Amino acid sequence: MYVPRLVTHYLKRGIKLYGPKVCVVDGDKRFTYKEFGDRVNRLSNALLIMGVMPGDRVAFLGPNDHRILESYYGVVQIGAILTCLNIRLAPDELLYILNHCGAKVVCVDHEYTDRITPILKDIETVQKFILLTNGERPEAIDWPGYDNLLAAASPEPPPEPQMDENDVAEIFYTSGTTARPKGVMLTHRNLCANAYTYMTTLALTDSDVQLHTVPLFHVNGWGAPHALTAVGGKHVMLRHFRAESVFEAIEREGVTIGAMVPAMLNTLLNFPDYKKYNLTTWKKLILGGAPVPVSFIKTAAKKFGVDAHVVYGMTEASPIVTMATLKSHLKELPQGKQYKLKAKTGIEVIGVEVRVVDKDGKDVKNNGIEVGEIIVRGNNIMKGYWRDPEATNKAIIDGWLHTGDLATIDKDTYINIVDRDKDMIITGGENVASAEIEMAFYSHPAVLECAVIGVPDLKWGEVPKALVVLKPDKKATAKDLLGHCATKLAKFKVPKSVEFLESLPKTGTSKIQKNVLREKYLKNHKTE
C-alpha cells in the first residue's frame, strides 16, 4: 500500500487524539488542538477566497507567534507553498526573494511593515497583503487584518487537493552570505523525514513542551512545528528573545525542551538572576548554527540542570543531519569527556547517511585528525533550489549533498566540524580553523563573544584576527587573551591581533555574521 507522507497528517492526528489539550501558547493566548485546527482551516479558506491555488507561494514576514505556526498547516493543506521570510533582511533583500519566488499573498507583522512599504512599487507578483496585528496598525497601512479575514472564513476543513509526498510544501531562502539567497525547496517527504528524526532522536511525547526560541522563519523551525504537533506536545511561542522572557516561560508553562543557537544560550548563561526561576522541568536543549564551546554544555548542566548537546544541519537537509547524543557505552566516561562529546557535531541521525571525504571523494580515516568535507544523503535532502538548476547541480553531485563544511571523524564515528570551507584561514601555507581559535578564546573567563577572521599579511599571506566582546563585569587586555590562547594553540594559530568591540553583527537567528566582519575589516585593509 502506498500512502503519501504529508505534513498535514500531523495536525489531523493532533486534533483527533488531543482535541481539548492545549496546543499553542502565545503570550496570554491559548489554543487547544481543536481551536488551533479551526484557525488553520479558516486560514486555508480565506486564502482560497483570495484565489490562492495549489503551487502558489504564500509568504509570511514576522517573529514567532501563533499565526506563523498556523501558516505551517493552513498554507500547505490547500497545496500552496509556504515561504517564511527573515525579519532581519533589508527591503531590497526581501524584494529579491518575493520576486524570485513569485509570491501571490504576503502576510506582514505590524512591526515589520517598514520593510515592505519602500519596495511596494517594485514587487511584481503579489496580489494581496495581509496585516498580522493585535490591533496595532501602522500609519498608511490599509491592508486587511489577518484575524478579521479568519473570522469571516469557515472553520470547516477545506477541499484538499490531490497531493504527493514529493510536492514542494515550503521554500526557505538561504542567508546568501556570498551571493544572492537561494530558495531551498522542501517537499512533504523531506519534512516528514526530518520530523521523524526530531521525534525519535529526542524521544518526544505528548508531555513535551517546547519553547520556540529559534525563529520559525529559520531552517524550517528546525522541524519542531511538525514533530511536536505530531506527538501532541505543546508549542510555546516567544516573540522576542530576552533572558527574562525565556526563564518566565520555562517556569510558567513547564517547558521541557528548547532549541537555540550558542549566542542565545550564552545570553542565558550570563543572566545573573536565573536562580529566581523554577527551571526543574527543562530537561533537553539542542544547540546548533555555530560551534559550541564545551564550557557552554558544562555550565548549562550546572546552572540549569539541562542536558545540552549539539545538533548539526542546514536548510538543504530540512535541516537535521547529526546530533551529539551519547552512545550508551560512552556514558561510563568521566563527566568532562562526556561534555566534550556533547559539544561535537555528533553522529548521523536515523535515516540520514553522512560521510567525510577528501578532495578525491574518498572517506577520511576515523582518527579525529584528517579533515574532509561533509557530504549527506537521505529522504530529508531538498528537492533542489527554486528556479536554479545550475546551483542545484553544483550542490548535489552523484546523489550526495556537498555541504561545504570541513570536519574530522573519530574512532567512535563522532563528527566534528573544524570550519566552513570559506571560513578556513590559510596562513603560511597552513590551514587554520577559525572555529578552533574561537573555542580557545571562549575558554577565557572574560570573553562573552568572539569571531575570528583572516586578514591579509605581507609575510604570511593571511593571518587570524580576533574580534572580541568582553563580559560586562570582566576585564582583559589583548596581551592577556593572546597569552591564554598560546597555552591552547600552536604558535602559528594564535591571532596576530585582537580588537575589542561592544557587539558583533548577527543574523535574525543570532548567528554571528562573519561576512559582515570580513567586509568591514578587509575593505581598505593595508598589509603590515
What is the secondary structure of 154-172 as a DSSP string?
--SPPPPPP--TTSEEEEE
pLDDT at residue 489, as a whole number: 85
Q: In the predicted model, is pLDDT for residue 474 greater than 90?
A: yes
The CA distance from 225 to 76, in Å, is: 13
Residues 110, 136 contacting (CB under 8 angstroms): yes
C-alpha cell at 201: 532522536
Residues 160, 137 contacting (CB under 8 angstroms): no
What pTM value is reported for the model? 0.87
Dihedral angle sign, alpha carbons of residues 473, 476, 477, 478: negative
Write out pLDDT tens, residues 353-393: 999 999 999 999 999 999 999 999 999 999 999 999 999 99
pLDDT at residue 435, as a whole number: 83
Residue holding cell 479568519? 150
pLDDT at residue 429, as a whole number: 65
Nearest Cα to Cα of residue 260 among 219, 298, 315: 219
Residues 495, 247 contacting (CB under 8 angstroms): no
Of 298 and 181, which is predicted with more confidence? 298
Q: In the predicted model, is pLDDT for residue 27 greater than 90?
A: yes
**Mean pLDDT in residue range 91-118:** 96
Q: In the predicted model, is pLDDT for residue 506 greater than 90?
A: no
pLDDT at residue 261, as a whole number: 86
By DSSP bridging, strand 447-457 and strand 461-470 are antiparallel
Of 288 and 422, which is predicted with more confidence? 288
Write out pLDDT tens, residues 170-218: 999 986 544 688 999 999 999 999 999 999 999 999 999 999 999 999 8
The CA distance from 162 to 154, in Å, is: 21
Q: In the predicted model, is pLDDT for residue 332 greater than 60?
A: yes
Q: In the predicted model, is pLDDT for residue 527 greater than 70?
A: no
pLDDT at residue 182, as a whole number: 93
Q: In the predicted model, is pLDDT for residue 139 greater than 70?
A: yes
**Mean pLDDT in residue range 108-137:** 97
Go through the domains of the chain in sequence order and give each one's CATH number: 428-522 (3.30.300.30)
CA distances from 221 to 11, 117, 195, 214, 319 (A): 16, 27, 11, 6, 9
Residues 136, 109 contacting (CB under 8 angstroms): no
**Mean pLDDT in residue range 208-237:** 95
Q: In the predicted model, is pLDDT for residue 528 greater than 70?
A: no
CA distances from 240 to 56, 98, 225, 298, 329 (A): 30, 24, 18, 26, 40
Mean pLDDT of the chain: 93
The CA distance from 402 to 450, in Å, is: 28
Question: What is the full DSSP assignment across 290-303?
Answer: S---HHHHHHHHHH
Of 102-111, 174-183, 267-276, the range with the lowest mean pLDDT is: 174-183
How many other β-carbons are positioned within 10 Å of the β-carbon of residue 1? 2
